[in-house]
């Protein structure tokens, strides 16, 4: 694979073969980001579990202490006027019930980043599974997006709540902020996410839980973190 001049220059700033501690890795990630836009910094964890088994699933959500740096558009689906008003006051861009379900179903409308709903609406929202599921927008109680306290869920989503879950290769991919946050705030976000993932370790997991960890910016190279130092 051919890379551009900026990427090749960034690679020279670190040792590909080295495993860094968290502070060094994040500092290097900010230094190797060279795009003209504010790049997103991501953390990727390879776990020693088999997500094909229900008792080895790793999934949850956490509000990052410094947010994600992204303006999150929230759709709240609820039918009670009091809850609709509470969701809007909490910052939801859209709040309602039938009109939004119909809009998604018939028009393919997707002008939102997070969908939050109340338990009594899941019967209707569930019908949108084929549309929302592939886009990762299906509400889930474990992610805190199916809840009776919809105002709290909206505030958390706007504050930088992220969901972490295994993909088919047993890797978790999560944003932890923007390069402009600086290394200190990015490290705080990383450690909060790491703590949540460690806490979510399944009882059925055997051997080394975190096999590898990489942090990277949108256009930058991946910096490897020593997994033995973050267990």
Q: Say which residues have a Cβ less than 8 Å from residue 206's Cβ, sequence separation at least 6.
A: 48
What's the half-sphere exposure (Cβ side, CA atoms, 13 Å) at 186? 27
CB 137 within 8 A of CB 115: yes
Q: Say which residues have a Cβ less than 8 Å from residue 5's Cβ, sequence separation at least 6.
A: none
To the nearest whole number, what is the mean pLDDT of the chain?
Answer: 93
pLDDT averaged over 10-residue windows placed end to end, the chain, 231 residues:
75 87 96 93 97 93 94 94 96 96 94 95 93 91 92 94 93 97 97 96 93 95 92 73
Q: How high is the pLDDT of residue 15?
A: 87
For the chain, state the CA radius of gyration. Answer: 19
Q: How high is the pLDDT of residue 11?
A: 78
The torsion defined by the Cα of 153, 154, 160 and 161, in degrees rounded to 10, comes to 30
Q: How high is the pLDDT of residue 1?
A: 64
Write down the pTM of the prediction: 0.85
Write the pLDDT tens digit of every residue in 174-197: 999 999 999 999 999 999 999 999
Q: How high is the pLDDT of residue 54?
A: 92
């Amino acid at each position: 694979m051919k890379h551009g001049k900026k990427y090749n220059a960034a690679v020279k700033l670190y040792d590909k073969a080295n495993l860094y501690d968290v502070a060094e890795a994040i500092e290097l990630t900010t230094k190797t980001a060279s795009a003209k836009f504010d790049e997103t910094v991501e953390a990727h964890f390879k776990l020693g579990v088999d997500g094909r088994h229900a008792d080895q699933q790793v999934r949850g959500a956490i509000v990052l202490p410094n947010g994600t740096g992204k303006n999150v558009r929230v759709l709240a689906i609820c039918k009670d006027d009091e809850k609709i008003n509470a969701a809007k006051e909490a910052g939801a861009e859209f709040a309602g019930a039938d009109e939004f379900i119909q809009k998604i179903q018939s028009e393919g409308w997707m002008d939102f980043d997070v969908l939050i709903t109340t338990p009594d609406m899941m019967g209707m929202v569930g019908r949108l599974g084929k549309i929302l599921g592939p886009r990762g927008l299906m509400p889930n109680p474990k992610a805190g997006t199916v809840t009776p306290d919809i105002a709290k869920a909206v505030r958390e989503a706007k504050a930088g709540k992220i969901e972490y879950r295994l993909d088919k290769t047993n890797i978790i991919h999560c944003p932890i902020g923007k390069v402009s946050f600086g290394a200190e705030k990015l490290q705080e976000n990383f450690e909060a996410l790491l703590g949540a993932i460690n806490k979510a370790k399944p009882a059925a997991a055997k051997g080394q839980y975190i096999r590898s960890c990489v942090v990277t910016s949108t256009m930058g190279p991946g910096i490897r973190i020593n997994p033995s130092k973050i267990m």
